[in-house]
Chain A
């Protein structure tokens, strides 16, 4: 459960920053919004990097598959990355309508992505990476 718990907490923490950013845009405070958005973007990209550079390679090595679930997850990371850029532009242009339109799409994409990871991929990681779980989490914390 070590990996699951650690990664799940990161997902929740990203959600918090994002919600703060939405609140600021809703109050037309784009400066505040940008601050929270930056937190969200850094946290999210960092989380993706931990998965792509540490967790997924370890999983792929343990299961011997590189074309399975991890590949799909990486593809969705790229979809999220595109939307993050769009969201940044919307805040810079102080375009509230565009912001919420991108935000809605991004949020559902990210949430269903997280759901798949939490329900399956992390659960499998917990099992196949049982012995190295402690080390992996340490490595990700340092990342």
Chain B
């Protein structure tokens, strides 16, 4: 009766997840180089192609890779349905994403727009397939928890954001749809930042904050209405941008308020956790949520008080928030999966999570990550702080890469010593 693929044993091979996670430091370091060699005057301008390139290196090369890797792992748990041939699909989508990301960012960074043409089908193809794959599994889940709904909103927004990107690229290449590129860009970035990334973090938090740190669950109101609230605000914005700029601003403030409240609730939950030890990941979550809080406040300042400079703080803090969440998640997921797969293979004396990813290594990265945050404050004084940001960002991602690789090395050295 319930035979349609229901099984709880669909942990995909470790390499499916690790290949995506290992790309994070690669693109992160590239982005750091991008910042280092960019003209600091350009970096304050979010529409200049160089800046656009760096933003996309971080959002596709780092954030999207982290999401896809984590979803390959989480989807079977959340949806109770296996992804058929996960290794095969992980391989080709990963490869296409890497090439597509390199091409599109090179096109922007070096003004070599010839790369734009092949990059578009590569990215649309790989993202499109991932969205289809994940959404179809999620749609089939009978017990639609708030996390499942949140992920569906997130993936749909990613789809909408991609469509907008496609239209923008076409206009960029000379097509005319009678639409304003600036308005489309405003839509694109809202669907991506709030819709895709913001809602994804909400959906994931509903699950993992309670699970990793043993906290009370998020309030039912937050779980049921926040992801849908984001979707509603985005749709309102979409209609309003072509009609009424006041309503568009209202939609923007609604978005910012939703994330502001979400960050406050999460900070409160982390305070209420029943486990006494605050490891590096707890602090990374706190850092993430404080950045999100300040980022949302900056957005409100910009919209309501018209303070132009607040846009930069909105964007930079949002980026810092995304990075912090990625590190916090990886430092639990990676050592757990290494332990889990080794243990399942019957390896005697499987090293524990604390041996696979030593607390000291994570803490070192945490401190460096905080120094990066402090360095960002110096932007108030001089744009040359971007040089320091570049170096610290690169160094943090190298440490992250070393930490992940160490875990993978432990796995590889023991994986054939199992009894099962």
Enumerate chain A interface residues (CB-CB to B < 8 A): 15-16, 18-19, 22-23, 26, 63, 65, 68-69, 71-73, 75, 79, 82, 97, 100-102, 104-105, 107-109, 111-112, 115-116, 119-121, 123-124, 128
- Interface size (B, Cβ < 8 Å)? 32
Which A residues touch B332, using CB under 8 A? 108
The answer to whether B276 and A26 have CB atoms under 8 Å apart is yes
Q: Tell me whether B354 and A119 are in contact (CB under 8 A).
A: no
Are B277 and A15 in touch, CB under 8 angstroms? no
The answer to whether B354 touches A111 (Cβ under 8 A) is no
A-B CB contact pairs (8 Å), 22 listed: A18-B214, A19-B214, A19-B276, A23-B276, A26-B277, A68-B7, A69-B6, A69-B8, A71-B9, A72-B8, A72-B9, A73-B8, A100-B277, A105-B336, A108-B211, A109-B336, A109-B340, A111-B214, A112-B77, A115-B211, A116-B80, A128-B1
Chain A residues whose CB sits within 8 angstroms of the CB of B7 once the complex forms: 68-69, 72
In the bound complex, do residue B6 and residue A68 qualify as a contact, i.e. CB atoms below 8 Å apart? yes
Tell me whether A79 and B214 are in contact in the complex, defined as CB-CB below 8 angstroms, given that A100-B277, A101-B353 are known contacts: no
A101 to B336, CA, bound (A): 11
The one of B2, B6, B343, B355 in contact with A101, judged by C-beta atoms closer than 8 angstroms, is B355
- A-contact bits for B278-305, CB 8 A (1 contact / 0 none): 0100000000000000000000000000
Q: Which chain A residues border B8 with CB–CB below 8 Å?
A: 68-69, 72-73, 116, 120-121
A25 to chain B, nearest CB (A): 8
Q: Which of B3, B78, B211, B279 has the most CB atoms of chain A within a 10 A radius of its CB?
A: B211
Q: How many whole Å from B344's CB to the nearest CB in chain A?
A: 8
Q: How distant is B184 from chain A, measured CB to nearest CB, in Å? A: 38
Nearest Cβ distance between residue B329 and chain A, in whole angstroms? 12
Q: In the complex, A111 Cα to B8 Cα: how many Å?
A: 14
Chain B 380-402 against A: per-residue CB contact (8 Å), 1 yes, 0 no? Answer: 00000000000000000000000
Highest count of chain B CB atoms <10 Å: which of A18, A75, A79, A120: A120
**CB nearest neighbor in A for B78:** A119
B207 within 8 A of A: yes
In the bound complex, how far is the Cα of B336 from the Cα of A112, in angstroms?
A: 11
B274 interface hit (Cβ, 8 Å):
yes
Q: Provide the bound-state CA to CA distance between A18 and B213, in Å.
A: 12
Contacts of B214 in A (CB 8 A): 15, 18-19, 107, 111
Interface residue from A73, A82, A112, A120 paired with B143 (Cβ < 8 Å): A120
A107 touches B275 (CB 8 A): yes
Q: Are A22 and B211 in contact (CB under 8 A)?
A: no
Determine the distance from Cα of A104 to Cα of B344 in the docked complex, in whole angstroms: 17
Task: Knowing A63-B1, A68-B7, A123-B143, say if A15 contacts B274 (CB, 8 Å).
Answer: yes
3 A-B pairs closest in CB distance: A101-B354, A19-B274, A72-B9
Q: Is the CB of A119 within 8 A of B212?
A: no
Besides the known contacts A68-B7, A101-B354, 9 further A-B residue pairs in the complex with CB atoms under 8 A apart: A19-B276, A104-B353, A104-B354, A105-B352, A109-B336, A109-B340, A112-B77, A115-B207, A115-B211
**CB nearest neighbor in A for B352:** A101
In the complex, how many angstroms separate the beta carbon of B77 from the nearest chain A beta carbon?
6
- What CA separation (Å) do A101 and B3 show in the bound complex? 38
Given A101-B352, A101-B353, A105-B352, are A120 and B80 neighbors across the interface (CB < 8 Å)?
A: yes
Q: Is B142 engaged at the interface, CB distance under 8 Å to the other chain? A: yes
- CA of A139 to CA of B8, assembled, Å: 26
CA distance A116 to B78 in the complex (A): 7
B237 within 8 A of A: no
| B147–chain A nearest beta-carbon distance, Å | 9
Q: Is B339 an interface residue (CB 8 A)?
A: yes
Contact yes or no, B2 A63, CB < 8 A: yes
